[in-house]
């Protein structure tokens, strides 16, 4: 089914619902597609006899699977739209992931990017939405005389050349062979993480805005912010250690290690489990001077400006406590 510029295999979901005679279906939709929610439901209701409940909670990734609703609302089947599954979380019973494959043309923005690719060996990466376009990108680049590389990720990664905001392993798997990376997709966070994680130059191509840019300046700005956050945290005495409770974000052992490190450094700390992070939720905890987040890495970095108190990543806490040097700064990844 085509919804907006995305091809989504709702036919497959409908087939399963009818075959297994599912009565109640839960639908998880990422934020960007929620505006089309009625198209999804109408299609399923038209082609099956199932009753559809929309999970209205914010959903940002495949790390977030609505198991609680699945159990509590007597749901037979969960359709998770817009993300590929995270293989290491295991085969999920009665959960179907349906990627939203963007049909946007990537060739025009690619043409704009080519003059910026000042190297011969190019690693190409993308997010789930555009990963099926990487073969086309590869062919075009090869015809222009580039050598191209598409990597394979670790156990959190489903598609070739795919990266997540918390996992750049598919890029790292080829980073020794390539001179720079070409990223196909939108937003700043993925190409920034790509650069910080591989330490290679990145050209980001946005098929939505047709913007092409190097992430060099962004990297400098974010590193300055992170240095500032670590510096501000130096004088903090009471730390809140954030544990994300979403299935694919849970890093409890890491949180416990951090608590011990803080304790050894004579800093008091508390463990906070949280499903959905927002500035207003953290502001309720006035007693904490700053936070360390073991949940989604975006919270600390991408939402930096929204939070009044510093939120450090585990890597940044290691720098603060002298387990690691600033020169060895690395991006927080879940794996």
Residues lying near a second copy in the complex (CB under 8 A): 26, 31, 34-38, 41, 51-58, 67-69, 72-74, 238, 242-243, 245, 247, 250, 252, 256, 268, 270-276, 281-282, 284-287
Taking the least distance from each CB to a second copy, the nearer of 56 and 221 is 56
Residue whose structure tokens are 């998770």? 80
Least distance (Å) from a second copy to the CB of residue 287?
A: 5
Taking the least distance from each CB to a second copy, the nearer of 230 and 243 is 243
Least distance (Å) from a second copy to the CB of residue 206?
A: 22
Angle at 172 between CA 115 and CA 226, to 5 degrees: 85
- Hey, what are 63's tokens? 């790390």
What is the per-residue DSSP string for 11-52? HHHHHHHHHHT-SEEEEE--GGGGGGHHHHHHHHHHHSS-EE
Least distance (Å) from a second copy to the CB of residue 245?
A: 6
Closest alpha carbon to 153 in 163, 144, 142 = 163
Closest alpha carbon to 309 in 331, 292, 289 = 289
Taking the least distance from each CB to a second copy, the nearer of 228 and 279 is 279
Least distance (Å) from a second copy to the CB of residue 161?
A: 30
Taking the least distance from each CB to a second copy, the nearer of 57 and 155 is 57
Taking the least distance from each CB to a second copy, the nearer of 8 and 163 is 8
Strands 77-81 and 24-28: parallel
Angle at 58 between CA 54 and CA 59, to 5 degrees: 85
- Hey, what are 253's tokens? 């052992």
Least distance (Å) from a second copy to the CB of residue 114?
A: 37
Least distance (Å) from a second copy to the CB of residue 68?
A: 5
Taking the least distance from each CB to a second copy, the nearer of 43 and 181 is 43
What is the per-residue DSSP string for 263-306? HHTT-EEEEEEESS--HHHHHT-TT-SEEEE-S-HHHHHTTGGG
């Amino acid at each position: 089914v085509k919804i907006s510029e995305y091809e989504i295999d709702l036919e497959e979901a409908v087939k399963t619902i009818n075959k297994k005679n599912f009565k109640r279906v839960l639908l998880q939709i990422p934020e960007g597609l929620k505006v089309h929610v009625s198209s999804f439901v109408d299609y399923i209701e038209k082609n099956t006899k199932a009753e559809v409940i929309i999970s209205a909670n914010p959903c940002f990734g495949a790390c977030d699977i609505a198991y609680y609703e699945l159990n509590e609302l007597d749901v037979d089947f969960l359709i998770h739209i817009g993300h590929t599954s995270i293989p290491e979380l295991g085969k999920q019973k009665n959960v179907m992931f349906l990627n939203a494959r963007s049909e946007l043309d990537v060739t025009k923005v690619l043409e704009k990017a080519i003059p910026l690719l000042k190297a011969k060996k190019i690693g190409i990466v993308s997010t789930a939405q555009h990963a099926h376009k990487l073969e086309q990108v590869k062919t075009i680049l090869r015809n222009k005389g580039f050598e191209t590389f598409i990597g394979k990720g670790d156990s959190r990664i489903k598609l070739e050349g795919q990266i997540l905001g918390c996992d750049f392993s598919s890029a790292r798997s080829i980073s020794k062979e390539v001179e720079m990376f070409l990223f196909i997709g939108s937003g700043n966070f993925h190409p920034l993480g790509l650069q910080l994680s591989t330490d290679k130059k990145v050209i980001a191509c946005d098929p939505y805005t047709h913007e092409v840019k190097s992430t060099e300046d962004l990297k400098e700005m974010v590193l300055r912010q992170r240095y500032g956050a670590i510096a501000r945290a130096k004088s903090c005495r009471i730390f809140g250690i954030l544990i994300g409770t979403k299935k694919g974000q849970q890093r409890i052992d890491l949180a416990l290690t951090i608590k011990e490190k803080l304790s050894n450094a004579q800093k008091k700390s508390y463990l906070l489990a949280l499903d959905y992070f927002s500035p207003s939720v953290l502001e309720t905890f006035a007693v904490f001077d700053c936070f360390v987040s073991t949940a989604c890495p975006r919270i600390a970095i991408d939402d930096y400006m929204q939070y009044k108190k510093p939120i450090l990543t585990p890597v940044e806490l290691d720098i603060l406590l002298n387990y690691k040097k600033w020169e060895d700064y690395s991006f927080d990844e879940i794996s």
